[in-house]
Amino acid sequence: RLRYVAKLGVVPQALVKVAESAPFEGPLTIRIGKKAHALDRQLARTILVELC
């Protein structure tokens, strides 16, 4: 999982924006730069974020 999210660009100090949250525990769509990625809720819950 760690390698997968790192490959997407979710690394320390990365600016990650939640673009969309699907209903009924569906996936989150995140944006890193100009790229969008869908993450399932279980994976998204493992990522620690800090609001800026």
- Give me the mean pLDDT over the 4-27 stretch: 94
- 50 — pLDDT class (breaks 50, 70, 90): confident
Tokens, residue 44: 């998204």
Collapsing DSSP to helix, strand or coil, 38 comes out as strand
Tell me if 28 sits within 8 A of 39, measured CB to CB: yes
Domain ranges within the chain, ordered by starting residue: 2-44
Task: Say what the pTM is.
Answer: 0.81
pLDDT, greater one: 39 or 2? 39
Which phi and psi (to 5°) does residue 42 adopt?
A: -60, -45
